[in-house]
Structure formats: C-alpha cells, structure tokens
Chain A
Amino acid sequence: MIERPAVRVQSLRKAFDVPVRQPGLKASIGALFKRETREVVAVDELNFEVGAGEVVGFLGPNGAGKTTSLKMLAGLLHPTSGTAEVLGFTPWQRQPAYLRKMALIMGNRNQLQWDLPVLDSFELVRSIYRLPRQQFTDTRDEMIALLELGALVDKPVRNLSLGERMKAEIAGALLHLPAVLFLDEPTIGLDITMQKRIRTFVAEYNRKQGATVLLTSHYMADVQALCKRVIVIDHGTVLFDGGLQRLADEFGSTKTIVARLDVADGEKLDTYGRSATNRGDGTWSIQVTRSEVAEVTGRLLAEQAVVDLTIEDPPIEDVIERVFSRGSTPA
C-alpha cells in the first residue's frame, strides 16, 4: 500500500496584482481615474510531495516564492490556481481540525503576549488548542527543558532577547504537538549557539513526534543538519527536488581532495588536479573535476607519502548558487 504523502502540491500558482504608477503629478492625477496594476507571479506551477515524517529543506533566493508557498500551505493565502493537500486538508479552507495539526513558525513573528510572562502565553495556547491539562503540562515542561527556557518563562516577553524570544515562540507554537511544521527562517538573526540549539530541537521533535517538517533557511548549516532532501525553487518553480547528496553530485562539478603528506612537496602537487593549495603542516587541498577524482586520488596514493586523505564536496552554498544560476534541473 502506498503511503499518502503528508503534503501534496499540484500546479500551485499565486499571483498578486500590484498597483503601479509612473512618477509625477500627471500620472498621479491619472491614477485617480484609471488604476493600473501589474501581475506579479510569486509561485508558478509548483509541484512536489512530502512524505509523512520527512524533513525537507525548501530553498531559494530572496523572492523565489518560498514564504508565499509556505503561507498557502499554512492556510494564510488563497492560491490563484492549483491544489494543495496537507494531512488530507485543503489548507486555505482553514478548518479548525487542520489548524490544530499544523504550525507555521516565522523568524520575525511574535505571537506571545508582549506584556505577560511566557507561562501566561502558554496557558492561552492551552485554551486555544483545547489541550488536556496533563498533556499540556507534560509537553510544556519538556519543551522548557529541551530549549532551556527554565529561567525565562516567568519573565515578561518584552524583557527577553531576540534569541530567548524565538525559543519561547517555538515552544509556544509546538505545545499542541503539530504533525506538520512549516519553518520559515527559524534561526534568522540568532547567534551560532542559539541556531544550533534550535536545530537540535527541531531534529529531536521530528524524531520523537514523527512530524513532517518543511524548512526554509538561508543558513545552509540548518539545511545540512536537518534535511536529507531539498527542494530548490526560483521564480516560483521547482529547479531541483532530491537528496542533498544528489544535489551535490549533480550540481557540484568539482570536489576537493584534502591530503596530508609526510613530506610536503608543493612543486609536485601542483601537477595534480586543477589547482592545489598548501594549507600548511603538510596539508594540501586539491581541486579536481568529478571525473578526475579516482585518477588523481590513485596517483596521489601511489606517488606521494600520504598520511591522511579525504574527499570533500564543495560547500552547499556554492552548489545551490550553481542551481540558481543554471535555472533548471540538469538532464
């Protein structure tokens, strides 16, 4: 039996009518009588599926249509055309049963009660989502422990730092234990430690709840730590949909061989691959094309006193950039 995907998107399109007006008084008066608009297509014929329990990175440059897509899947926006199904619901019908099963967390969002201690906001969440007292208390305490919120929950939200507030926001958004989680830049503006803690928490939540997660982030560390699969979009359409490794394989044209030698000999290593850089302490980085990897590695091992050798993919940022610049899925 084929398992039903948690998220299914078919030919989804969202276009906005944006008012346009030429500068100057004449145009301004003209606009009183005839309002001109221009259609801006944010999402265009988007198609993908996400299996239950999957964590998928949803990547793209600014203006690619990521947030618009997530907002449609969360039921905030009605699409211009196309269909989407999340957990069997049509998101923009905004049925309470659906809203009780999903969460959209945006990095710049503040849903907590500004003037009240975090715990009071959590109590409100309990009443909104009709959570049984015991389940709520247990989940809340566990979230507080996992996100190290203990010292913060009795402070008014306005007194929390950005990172502290984000942690509290995430805890508040997950108290009803959503089965589908849309994360839009959840670590934006946070320091490295806080980013790491949130990543760990999301991974833990996915593992224990079996929740489906669709994540957008400009921090590739988020994507690498959480997602086995990525969907890359630009101009509202899918450019790539597959595993992170496949992305590197298909779009990363080069690899880096890092070799540590017993005796450093820069002259000789220059003849390997496209370029070689001495990192010091006898360690060299050699850029090679993918087809050259086996041959260059073989030569290195045969001709040099290699103590250690690793083969690295190019940084994921470079790969993604290559996807954007190419603008289509490779054949």
Chain B
Amino acid sequence: MITAEPASGPIAETEPGRFREFRTNALWLWRYYTQFMRLAIITQFQYRAANYFYMIGMIAEPVVYLVVWSTIARTNGGSVGGFTPGTFAAYYIVWTLVRNINIVFTPFGWEQRIKDGELSGLLLQPIHPIHRDLAFFAGWKVIVIILWLPIAAALTLIFHPSLSPTVWQCVVFFLALWGAYLIRSMFLWALGLISLWTTRVSAIFQAYFMAELLLSGRLVPLTLMPKWARSLAGVLPFQSTFGFPITALTGPITDAQLWHGLLTQLWWIVVGGLIVKLMWRRGIRRFASVGG
C-alpha cells in the first residue's frame, strides 16, 4: 500500500512565501471548480430530457408576462412606459436566460441536506461547502445554455424582439450574468443557513421570494414600477440579479449605468459573502448533525 507523504501533502505547506501559497491555493481551487463543473455537466447530460422539460415549463412564466404586456402596449397606442411589443419581447426572452443562470442551491435544499446527513459529509472535507454548490450549479449552466438556444430561437421567431446591443453591452451582459449568479448564490445560501437555527424556515423563504419577484425586474421591468418601488429596489440586491443583467443587453442603458450596475453587483457579492461567512461561523457551532 502506498505510504502517505510525511506532511500529508498539501502543496501550500511545502512552498514558502505568501504569494506562492496564494497562487497554489488559487490553482487548487481552480482545479476543484473545473473538476466539479465537469462532473455536473456529465450528471446533467444524463438528465437532459428532464432538464429540457424543466426549462420548457419555466418559459411559461415570461411568456405570460410578455403576452400581457404586449397586449397592454398595443392597446395603449403601441408602447407602455417606453416599451414596445418588440422591446418587451427582447426583455422577456433575455429574461429566460437570466432566470436559468440564476438557478442556484435553494434554501429548501438546506432542510433536506441537514436531514439526510449530507452536510456532515461536506463538513468532513477540507473545502468550504459553498464551493461545491457554486461549482456544481456553474457546471449545470453549460447544459442550460445549450438547451436554451433552441428555445430562444423559437421565442424569437414567434415574438420578434427588438434587440441591437453594442459589443460592450454584450461583454457587460456576460459579466452581469455571472455576477447575478454569485449574488443569488450568496443570498440564498445565507437564507438556507437559517436552517441551522430552526427547522421550519419555508415561510421566511417565501417572503424573500415574493420580495424578489416584485423588486428585481422579474415580474415586470422596474422602470414600469412606481417610484417608491424603484427607490426600494435601489437599496436591495434583487435588481442586480434580474433587472440589471437583462437591461444591460436589451437597453436602453448608458455606459455609466453599465459601470454602475457592475459595481453594484460587486458590492452585493461582497455583502452576500460576508453575511454567509458570519452566519456560517455562528451557525455551524449549533449544528447538531442529527441526520448522520
């Protein structure tokens, strides 16, 4: 049998210097992410049919919004709040991609994760469990994007979106998609961590999702919301997860607004990360590991 390395082998421990240690850790994390994303892709390919039906089911929501708002626009002389049926179509077709990229580990999964003892297993590994979720769902996105393309093509043929983004908008949109993914991951992880304090937290989750639905641009573009709602949305993270990425591509939006949007996303990623860190540190002390 092979003998373990004397120092049990972490590369970082054998190389002096903070920079080298940082570089080694970053490289290791990168390898972990790519490995886990690869496994997520393999896993989700096995469930491609289920994934497809799930996505088709999911487009019902934006299509309803789109039909309703297009009808309102037409009856309102061709536009409402600056949105025409074409720009509504662009908004809600991009919405379908943003929504899929926004799928992360839900707080409901936390209840199950604790009950089944899965969290105990994750705690035994020398890596923070959030990396597993981030890597897994990021890998899943590769499948999501592949499956989304024909859906987007079909929606485009049916609804004729008006969309003419600049290259810079496309770049920001790409960055904003992953920013939205990270923000939603952090906040839903933090929400899920409440499960470490109490076992019945579904009501809290529902309240969060309701606020997100109304104040993110998911239900309706925020520019169509009353002023007080827009002001409220401005100080909450939801807009950065739906409204901003969508508008970054569909416009109208200025370069300054694009930069502001990206920086706001960065702010919420940091805030979310700090909340997770704090809750994790406190919550894990309470963990009873009853599930295994």
Which of A's residues lie within 8 Å of B, judged by CB? 16, 71, 74-78, 94, 96-97, 99-101, 103-104, 106, 108-111, 113, 115-116, 120, 123-124, 126-132, 135, 138-139, 142, 146, 176-179, 204-205, 208-209
Contacts and interface: CB of A to CB of B under 8 A. Distances in A.
B51 interface: no
A204 B36 CA distance: 32
Contact of A209 (B1, B9, B287): B1
A71 B121 contact: no
Interface in B88-110: none
B256 interface: no
A128 B126 CA distance: 7
A113 B285 contact: no
A209 B3 contact: yes
A139 B124 contact: no
Given A76-B120, A177-B2, 20 more contacts: A75-B124, A78-B287, A96-B127, A99-B125, A101-B8, A106-B117, A108-B117, A110-B121, A113-B43, A116-B43, A120-B39, A126-B35, A127-B32, A127-B36, A128-B125, A128-B126, A130-B10, A131-B9, A135-B9, A179-B8
28 contacts: A16-B288, A71-B120, A71-B289, A76-B120, A76-B123, A76-B124, A96-B127, A97-B126, A99-B124, A99-B125, A100-B10, A108-B292, A109-B117, A109-B292, A115-B46, A123-B39, A124-B36, A127-B36, A128-B126, A128-B127, A130-B10, A132-B9, A138-B2, A142-B2, A176-B4, A177-B8, A179-B4, A208-B3
Contacts of B35: 123-124, 126-127
B144 to A, nearest CB: 17
Contacts of B287: 76-78
Interface string B24-42: 0000100110011001001
B289 A76 contact: yes
A78 B287 CA distance: 8
Interface in B272-292: 284-285, 287-289, 292
B41 to A, nearest CB: 11
Given A100-B126, A108-B117, A124 B39 contact: yes
Contacts, number: 104
Contacts of B1: 139, 142, 146, 204-205, 208-209
Contacts of A75: 123-124
Contacts of A74: 124
B13 A97 contact: yes
Contacts of A71: 120, 289
B11 interface: yes
Contact of B288 (A77, A138, A142, A204): A77
Contacts of A106: 117, 120, 292
A109 B122 CA distance: 11
Contacts of B126: 96-97, 99-100, 128-129
Nearest to A19: B199
Across the A-B interface, the 4 shortest Cβ-Cβ residue pairs: A177-B4, A96-B126, A99-B126, A208-B1
Contacts of A126: 35
Contacts of A179: 4, 8
Given A109-B121, A130-B9, A116 B2 contact: no
Nearest to B11: A130
Nearest to B116: A110
Contacts of B124: 74-76, 99, 103-104
Contact of B10 (A78, A94, A96, A146): A96
